[in-house]
């Protein structure tokens, strides 16, 4: 099977879409390097958030999301991809080598790539409209295609365990001065910042959405919809893997991307929630009590319908392609 690298303009366009992937605190912990016939993804350990993500799990999950975004971007441009994950055992930060071969883009490829610029992390209240079970099953199928498991916490007992773990993790983290300082450094930034969470993407009133405690970012400028009588009917979905090695975390990130883009296609509002998995005790609790010890939770996704009339969440900026894309020396 013949592989060849697309022209430079196509590669740059694909990387520009890849870096639109979500990452922990919009830290963008990735580097891309082109070779003669492949594009390589490296984790950037200099962007590790040690207080929030001490074992680097969120960093690898974030990179996995960017890898899937790249695959989607290439597919829409008429290139199939063959991915070699963790290709170099001697270099732990070398997460993937991506080879390309021509293949006609399908309407589904183009639609999925078109969802990338429209995906947002929406931390506001959602509406009272229920998410139909068939849509939750469709999202779970997208995760399964990437080697992960997506489990809706629709059982009341499971939902209570999950929301309790979110609260407990937040309490533990806010008792750690290093975490509080790190959060303040990365969140509440000016809207022109190329990294971090801007003020305009943080709700002005930090609040619980019924039983869901959202991460306590610094006060923002994003207006919340009126609470009124409506209950927030968002669903909580636990994305998990059968193992917890670096490969599993990378595949989990790819599944996160697949689920979020599919949700964006059908106009669902989404918000990744990593907080209960950033604390070892609450992550272990969810593995044992929610997943019966059979899988490792990697991320929680909150999905629902935005209220009618909600203004769109502004796009967060990303670092320029020239800052994240390099070339192997000749």
Q: What is the pLDDT of residues 245-258, one digit of tens each?
A: 999 999 999 999 99
pLDDT of 330 reads 60
Quick one: average pLDDT of 224-236?
84
Query: What pLDDT was estimated at residue 228?
Result: 67
Question: How large is the average pLDDT for residues 198-204?
Answer: 94
- The domains located in the chain, with CATH, are 8-119+322-327 (3.40.109.10), 133-304 (3.40.109.10)
Query: What's the pLDDT score for residue 5?
Result: 85
pTM over 0.95: yes
Are 276 and 161 a contacting pair, CB within 8 Å?
no
Closest CA to 305 of 267, 261, 259, 273: 267
Q: How does pLDDT run across 156-187, given as a tens digit for each residue?
A: 999 999 999 999 999 999 999 999 999 999 99
Rounded Cα distance, 40 and 220, in Å: 36
In this structure, what is the dihedral angle of CA atoms 47, 272, 257, 50, given to the nearest 10 degrees? Answer: 20
Measured N-to-C along each axis, helices 8-18 and 57-76 cross at an angle, to the nearest 10 degrees, of: 140
Given pLDDT bands bounded at 50, 70 and 90, which one contains residue 2?
A: low
**In this predicted structure, what is the pLDDT of residue 205?**
79
pLDDT band at residue 131 under the 50/70/90 scheme: very high
What pLDDT sits at residue 35? 92
Reported as a pLDDT band with limits 50, 70 and 90, residue 4 is: confident
Q: How far apart are CA 169 and CA 180, in angstroms?
A: 13
């Amino acid at each position: 099977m013949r592989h060849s690298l697309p022209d430079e303009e196509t590669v740059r366009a694909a990387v520009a879409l890849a870096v639109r992937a979500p990452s922990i605190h919009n830290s963008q912990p990735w580097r891309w390097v082109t070779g003669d016939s492949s594009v390589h993804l490296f984790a950037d350990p200099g962007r590790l958030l040690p207080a929030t993500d001490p074992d680097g799990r969120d960093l690898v999950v974030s990179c996995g999301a960017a890898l899937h975004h790249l695959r989607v971007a290439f597919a829409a441009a008429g290139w199939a991809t063959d991915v070699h994950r963790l290709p170099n055992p001697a270099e732990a930060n070398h997460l993937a080598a991506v080879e390309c071969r021509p293949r006609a883009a399908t309407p589904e490829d183009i639609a999925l790539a078109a969802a990338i610029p429209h995906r947002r992390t929406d931390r506001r209240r959602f509406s009272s409209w229920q998410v139909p079970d068939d849509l939750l099953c469709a999202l779970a199928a997208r995760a399964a295609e990437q080697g992960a498991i997506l489990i809706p916490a629709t059982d009341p007992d499971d939902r209570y365990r999950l929301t309790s773990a979110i609260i407990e993790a937040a309490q533990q983290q806010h008792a750690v001065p290093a975490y509080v300082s790190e959060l303040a450094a990365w969140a509440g930034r000016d809207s022109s910042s190329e990294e971090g969470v801007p003020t305009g993407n943080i709700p002005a009133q930090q609040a619980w959405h019924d039983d869901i405690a959202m991460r306590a970012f610094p006060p923002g400028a994003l207006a919340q919809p009126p609470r009124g009588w409506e209950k927030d009917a968002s669903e909580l979905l636990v994305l998990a893997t059968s193992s917890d090695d670096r490969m599993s975390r990378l595949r989990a990130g790819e599944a996160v991307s697949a689920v979020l883009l599919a949700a964006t296609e059908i106009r669902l509002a989404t918000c990744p929630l990593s907080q209960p998995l950033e604390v070892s005790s609450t992550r272990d609790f969810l593995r044992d009590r929610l997943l019966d010890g059979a899988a490792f939770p990697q991320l929680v996704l909150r999905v629902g319908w935005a209220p009618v009339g909600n203004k769109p969440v502004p796009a967060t900026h990303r670092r320029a392609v020239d800052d994240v894309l390099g070339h192997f020396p000749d």
